[in-house]
Chain A
């Protein structure tokens, strides 16, 4: 097919729920999973006469996002009403920002699988209140207003992405940054981090954008990539077949692995935006902005740089270990107890992440705690167990969540570092292999390995390898 003659133009809109204790314009709890319509009050249910009051914490988190995403922050911005009728929108309008958002013109640097970096522009971030939730049942629609008024930041990217991979990496970077800075918990299943994608295609070498299609509510990184990939192909094939791309909204059907039409270009929805007269202009003082800048939590790139310098890690290792805030925290905790950065990095990346991936668990559900893993590493470093034994012990720890010390004790896995005990074993091995001894003596020195191996086997792998090596050589050469 002629896919390679086209390029995709992709822009993403992300709705990130802000991790505040209360809603954006009232004091109701911002809490997922409560009984339907219990986190509600006159304000968020749109009762007559109720008025919005700005939650300052939400503003703080938004500003943090703006800083983390390298945006230009506007000390004066304006809330606006977006008017439309929907049962889960009790006021008949959503309080948002329109002409004057609180920040514009940022960017995120993303790592691509080619090893390159790409800068993706951010057009704007604005504040917005979430709507409630409509549950469409066979007998009718149930409306739950617990989510109505929950604070959101809508983060709008430039149409800078050209492949599904780039879009996926942008989304991952955004997700990680927002979580690092304690802005959004990033929980995609609960809908706390939602993504819409605008996709069009054009022949490579042309400037003009093609007709765009909006993909709504794609709820995992994997689906975003798959959906975009599918949609790009669909559009290219359509064009190649002489069809016209219709401006429409589509959704991803993850069962069928296709995008499907949700609605046609809805008779040009007019939201009749106008400045929210119930709220004054949103004004950020420079001292307040300075305070937030000062209190900024560490961001993934900063953590990664710190890890590289402190623990002598490669770019790759550092980027793996900082891929999520929880993992970075876990790693730091391991290091602080084990005092061995390199070994900690290897154990976390190779053994722990490997096992976790195999069972499909995230780091926060690891059966081996950071202090337990640190203890294991310390035991290798002190010579109490060998690296090889440690792997056996680790398997057991992962399966049972027991401490290394109790597993070592129960199974008698302590490393044998007593020369006298090892000498007995070595003597026995040499005696029972006279021909190999003769060959060694005749000059076949690489048989040293054979004797070390036999002796190690004899100790069930518990011999201190360095000591054993040294003693075997001494015996053979004497």
Chain B
């Protein structure tokens, strides 16, 4: 039996009917990973014995399927999460060989609810990138077209699920790193509200923007993963003390069926024609359901890119100071002084894009520049938040394409950072505003590449987001699967 393209819901139903056991499912995924990963380079570490022993332990508990909401679900984890016993490289040479001494809260919650980890997956170094070409361990390829990027920074997470090598995966999203690769790989990708999911145990990139979220085939699956891992964590002071709704229960009987979508046409200029067409057709589906579309104004989103590239690098320059070769991780062999130990360990261990952002951030925080850059950027950030607050007085969601283009070719944008940064133009403001954003597949372009529809919700408005996206999914019908996910090899 093939499990690669099944959803959580389908797997759980199979387990309930005793059609198969977790160990069979896990073994099948491991086999597919070993067959297909060479082409994709999505997985950086698999531990078949560990995975199988977890799965076998669940075989003994088949009666508990109902009690464990992720019973026997194969999950891939981005390599910037710490999972005890597994490596955590964050795609960087500076952390190559680093073994996690503890487990991230989000992962711990998944594991305690029956999820089985099939592997750690590739990503842009320290989650900085939009194509997964910044990994120290080589680029990941898009299962829909192997000469194209899967998006980034959670490219391994999106490629793994799109290729049928995991049922769901976890990623992190600081400026679009879940939604953009989900869009480029034809998946549902969710960046929850800031504070919804604990950040404890994810390698920090930009603390005030980072958020953990799932990749999945369906909205229901996304809701299921979120309801398991969300909620306050005593280990993360920025995690919200808010009750977590039973999202999947809510999907059974949504409170609202007709939604008002806010669109800012001026924001959407410069989008690929195919993407624009798919976006418009998605909006038509909502209208058919009785929904409305209103034009909204987001005047400050045009500053989102520059704001983001001051705030995120500033925080990163400090967050990444700990990778210094002194306590753990990569250490240079050629240092003669302690000064050299620092500069060479960091110089040799950290990649180009990350260095660029560290320097940018260091500069922005320097005495004499702080007010003009970091402080100003935070003021603009507040303005962007206010834009959304105002928009939400007129609409339930703000919608946009997730990314202005579909998956581009490897190497296509590596020489031009700005061009690369522009692929996150619609996702960045959402992180700056701390809002939940969900990307749901809404069509294919002329090259048969997936296009994503982004829905941006009110703070902690994931329930409504799921309800609307779920509704859309029902009307849209089943989304195609990458050829690679079908069958073996």
CB < 8 Å neighbour of A53 from B208, B237, B374: B237
B322 to A274, Cβ gap below 8 A? no
5 contacts between A and B (CB under 8 A): A42-B101, A47-B328, A277-B238, A277-B315, A278-B237
CA distance A278 to B318 in the complex (A): 12
Q: A85-B324, A92-B321, A272-B366 are in contact. Are A48 and B95 (CB under 8 A)?
A: yes
Q: Mark B329-347, 1 if CB is under 8 A from A, else 0.
A: 0000000001000100000
How many chain A residues sit at the interface, stated as a range, is 20 to 34
CB < 8 Å neighbour of B322 from A48, A141, A273, A278: A48
Nearest CB in chain B to that of A268: its residue: B367
Q: Give the contacts of B286-322 with A (CB-CB under 8 A).
A: 314-315, 317-318, 320-322
Q: Which residues of B contact A143 (CB under 8 A)?
A: 326-327
B237 to A51, Cβ gap below 8 A? yes
The stretch from B198-206, B253-261, B402-410, B476-484 touching chain A is: B198-206
Q: Which residues of A contact B328 (CB under 8 A)?
A: 47
A93 to B318, Cβ gap below 8 A? yes
Q: Give the contacts of A265-284 with B (CB-CB under 8 A).
A: 270, 272-274, 277-280
Q: Which residues of B contact A85 (CB under 8 A)?
A: 321, 324, 342
Nearest CB in chain B to that of A140: its residue: B338
Q: Which residues of A contact B200 (CB under 8 A)?
A: 49-51
How many chain B residues sit at the interface, stated as a range, is 35 or more
Report whether over half of chain A's contact residues are helix, strand or loop; otherwise say mixed: loop
B204 to A49, Cβ gap below 8 A? yes
CA distance A49 to B200 in the complex (A): 6
A92 to B322, Cβ gap below 8 A? yes
CA distance A57 to B356 in the complex (A): 41
B201 to A274, Cβ gap below 8 A? no
B237 to A90, Cβ gap below 8 A? no
B90 to A48, Cβ gap below 8 A? yes
B318 to A81, Cβ gap below 8 A? yes
Q: Which residues of A contact B342 (CB under 8 A)?
A: 85
Answer yes or no: B20 CB below 8 A from chain A CBs.
no
Nearest CB in chain A to that of B239: its residue: A51
CA distance A279 to B199 in the complex (A): 12
B318 to A272, Cβ gap below 8 A? yes
B237 to A46, Cβ gap below 8 A? no
Candidate in B82, B98, B207, B322 with the most chain A CB atoms within 10 angstroms: B322
Q: Which residues of A contact B234 (CB under 8 A)?
A: 53
Q: Which residues of A contact B362 (CB under 8 A)?
A: 272
Answer yes or no: A87 CB below 8 A from chain B CBs.
yes
Q: Which residues of A contact B95 (CB under 8 A)?
A: 48
Candidate in B204, B234, B235 with the most chain A CB atoms within 10 angstroms: B235
For the A-B complex with A141-B338, A143-B327, A270-B366 known, give 16 more contacts whose Cβ atoms are closer than 8 Å.
Answer: A46-B327, A49-B104, A49-B201, A50-B200, A51-B200, A51-B236, A81-B318, A85-B321, A143-B326, A272-B362, A272-B366, A272-B367, A273-B365, A274-B315, A274-B370, A277-B238
A91 to B237, Cβ gap below 8 A? no
Answer yes or no: B88 CB below 8 A from chain A CBs.
yes
Nearest-Cβ distance from residue A144 to partner chain B, whole angstroms? 12
Q: Mark B199-224, 1 if CB is under 8 A from A, else 0.
A: 11111101110000000000000000
CA distance A92 to B346 in the complex (A): 12
A270 to B199, Cβ gap below 8 A? no
Answer yes or no: A83 CB below 8 A from chain B CBs.
yes
A48 to B324, Cβ gap below 8 A? no
Nearest CB in chain B to that of A84: its residue: B321
Q: Mark A29-72, 1 if CB is under 8 A from B, else 0.
A: 00000000000001001111111111000000000000000000
A47 to B236, Cβ gap below 8 A? no
CB < 8 Å neighbour of B203 from A48, A54, A81: A48
